[in-house]
Amino acid sequence: MTENNQHKKVRRYGMVIDLDKCTGCGACMVACYSENNVPFRTDETKKLDSLNWLRVFKVSNNKSFPDVDICHIPMPCMQCDGMHGHGHAPCVSVCPAVATDYDHETGIVSQIYTRCFGCRYCMAACPYHARTFNWWDPVWPADMKKSLNPSVSVRMRGVVEKCSFCFHRYQQAKEKAFVEERMQVEETEYQTACAEACPVKAITFGDLNNPDHKVHSLKKDKNAFRLLESLHTNPKVYYLTKRDWVRRQCDNIDSHTDIKE
């Protein structure tokens, strides 16, 4: 865990989600489940127990009919950089087992299931409810085990899991680049399952530090904001909306003033 990677060009993978495009269809969630072997149970209606790496929340402007409006907010792990971008994400700071760590090469907050012993401090620390706990053994009935993706390990009962920004896809892209003797992973080579899946192209994914990537300019849009910015968790997931009420509901107190590189 070195914080000084001066000799390497630092990448900070992040996401910009256009809330004015999102229709709340849920394709991102299902693509994520399928890519990341997220288990399912017969009753998934108790949402606090439901395992998700990405959830699409629905918020309303609380006006009465017919002035009411709704907005869908897809929430993956925010991949917090922490204060001053040192990688001190809330979950990383509290984990007693170093089961969750900040990767200085990509800015991605990892989760190592075999290290996790299920204390759930990280869940308490995360202000975004991005983490869920495996209360039950995963079950894939009939032949459903055949649909498991070998690139992502199946989690066992008793550990915490969360969105990894499909880190296995980064590894695969990096290996491919290495074989082809390239230093750079291209923008299109590494995309998360949800960004790739979004049928209305509301999710844009890329390196926030790379001016060639779309997210680099999108995050500077005047309508861009992040969730709970006042907490200085410094998330790498940005949202876009023209609707003021949505921004207010996202508790965006420091909007536009606190976006640090």
Partner 1 sequence: MKIDRRCFLSFGLGVTAGTLFSPLPWKLMDDASIWTQNWSWTPVPEPGEVSEVNTVCTLCPGGCGIRVRKVGKRAVKIEGLSDYPVNHGSICPRGFSGLQYLYGPTRIKSPMKRVGPRGSGKFKKISWDEALATVKDKLQDLRTKDMPHTLACIAGSDRGTVSYLIDRFLTAYGSPNYIRDASSRDADELALYLTQGQDGSMGFDFENTNFILSFGAGLMEGWGAPGRMLNLVGSNVDKTVVQIEPRLSDSAARADKWLAARPGTEGTLALGMGHVIVREGLYNRDFIDNFSFGFEDWSDEAGNTRQGYKALVLNHYAPSHVADITGISAVEIESVARAFAGAAKAVAISGRGQGRASDGVDECLAVLCLNALKGNINRPGGIRAVAEPDYLTWPEMNVDLTASKGRQQPRIDGAGTGAYPNTRYLINRLPAAINSAKGDSPVQALFVTDANPLYTMNDPEAAKKAFSRIPFIVNFSSVMDETAMYSDILLPDHFFLEKTRDVPSPPGVPVPVIGLAKPAVEPLYDTRHLGDTIITLAKSFGGFVETAFPWEDYGTFLEQTLADVWSDLDENGFWIDEKAAPKPWLEAFNTGSRKYEFYPAALANSDGHGYHPKVLEGAASLPGGEKDYPLVLIPYDSIRLSCGILAPSPFMMKIIDDTVLVKNNGLVEINPETAARFGLSEGSGVVLKTPAGRARVRVHLFSGIMPGVVALPHGLGHRAPDKYTNGKGININALINDVSDPVSGMNMAWGIRATLEKV
| Residues lying near partner 1 in the complex (CB under 8 A) | 20-21, 23-27, 29-31, 33-35, 37, 40, 42-47, 50, 52, 56, 58, 60, 62-66, 68-72, 113-114, 117, 137-138, 140-150, 153-159, 196-197, 199-202
Q: Least distance from C-beta 23 to partner 1, angstroms?
A: 4
221-230 long-range CB contacts below 8 Å, 24 or more apart? 221/16, 222/256, 224/16, 224/259, 225/250, 225/252, 225/255, 225/256, 226/78, 226/252, 226/259, 227/75, 227/78, 227/128, 227/251, 227/252, 228/127, 228/128, 229/253, 229/254, 229/255, 229/258, 230/254
CA angle 83, 232, 132 (to 5 degrees): 100
Q: How far apart are CA 242 and CA 171, in angstroms?
A: 36
Q: Least distance from C-beta 64 to partner 1, angstroms?
A: 5
Q: Least distance from C-beta 88 to partner 1, angstroms?
A: 26
Q: Are 107 and 236 in contact (CB under 8 A)?
A: yes
Q: Least distance from C-beta 215 to partner 1, angstroms?
A: 17
Closest CB to partner 1 among residues 157, 256: 157
Closest CB to partner 1 among residues 43, 261: 43
Closest CB to partner 1 among residues 10, 144: 144
Closest CB to partner 1 among residues 6, 147: 147
Closest CB to partner 1 among residues 143, 180: 143
Q: Least distance from C-beta 108 to partner 1, angstroms?
A: 21
